[in-house]
Amino acid sequence: MITRVAVVGTGLWAEQHTKLFDARGDTELVGVAGRHEERTAERAAKYRTRGFTSIDRMLDETQPDLVTVSLPNEHHFEPTLHLIERGVPLLVEKPLVFELGQADALLEAAGKQFFAINFNHRYAKTVQRAAAAIERGDLGDLYFATWRFGGEPGTSAHPHAQIIETQCHAFDMLEYLVGPIASVAAQMTDKSGSGFTTTAIALEFVNGAVGTLLGSYDSSYAYPRTHYFEVNGDAGRLTIEDTVKRLTISRAGKETASVWEAGFFNDEDRDFHATFGGHLDVLLPALFAGEPPPIHASAGRRALELALASIESFETGSRVATAS
């Protein structure tokens, strides 16, 4: 089955979408829509498809089975709502939006329509193996988790862009592997002068575990261990380094550990961008089977809800309940 896909967006991450759909054997890239005529024409020519500066014209002339939306982070709402109203199945790049009211409006408008968000980090081989280990009970009862992720700032002018657009990965991954977060207590700094670019959050999970989240735009993606994630239980511990680099599982009281990392010829599992392909491997069959997407857009709303609760915690100096 070939899925006809159109891409809305011509930025750097949108090109990752365009490149992947162009390269897959089970998709046909039928169009690219952008705001700037020259850039859109260049992108379309590069991938041998059609370029449009009108979303409606693209939909009318290409009739895609799926539209993927990858726009500047603060400009998701109106184009996404318009696409929902046109009734096309959607895959939206994270973050969903920056305001909870907008997220609710999108989800309400979509109803039972196919409406997915791209949290492709779940499909890293390290994360899949970690999820399986936790599901098997290899770690026993979970007691605490630690997440650290930081690099340079993006282009958003929002004062809380770091927690909303980048640490949505953190909130989603923490709940995916450890369970629902019950409450947050946050500390933030605007020392950089460009918003609250570093955040430290104390987490309480519904299952009784606790955790920490440290996120920053006052760091560098060039540093070793840009990303580090640790989950501890009473029977063992797992750590994930740089999302795709290495998974280590240790047993309580044992001085040896099990390690998984991609081998010399396994370029794909060392490539963060390739995790998007893993997401599509489960998303596209769900689309054609008429099933819900593997990661519904409601997961984007949940990540936003946790980010906004963290902001409230910092502003009020109090712990904020977040149990869904």
CATH of 122-274+304-321, one of 2.120.10.30, 3.30.360.10, 1.50.10.20, 3.40.50.11720: 3.30.360.10
DSSP 115: E
According to CATH, the superfamily of the domain at 3-119+288-293 is NAD(P)-binding Rossmann-like Domain (3.40.50.720)
Q: What does the pLDDT read at residue 155?
A: 84
User: Could you tell me if 295 and 122 are in contact, meaning their C-beta atoms sit under 8 angstroms apart?
Assistant: yes
Q: Give every CB contact of residue 141 below 8 A, 6+ residues apart in sequence.
A: 233, 234, 235
**Residue ranges of the chain assigned to CATH 3.40.50.720:** 3-119+288-293
The answer to whether the pTM exceeds 0.75 is yes
CA 260 to chain centre: 23
Task: Provide CATH 3.30.360.10 ranges for the chain.
Answer: 122-274+304-321
How far is Cα 257 from Cα 265, in angstroms, rounded to an integer?
23
pLDDT digits (tens, 9 = 90+) for 205-237: 999 999 999 999 999 999 999 999 999 999 999
Enumerate residue ranges in the chain where pLDDT < 50: none
Per residue in 80-117, pLDDT tens?
999 999 999 999 999 999 999 999 999 999 999 999 99
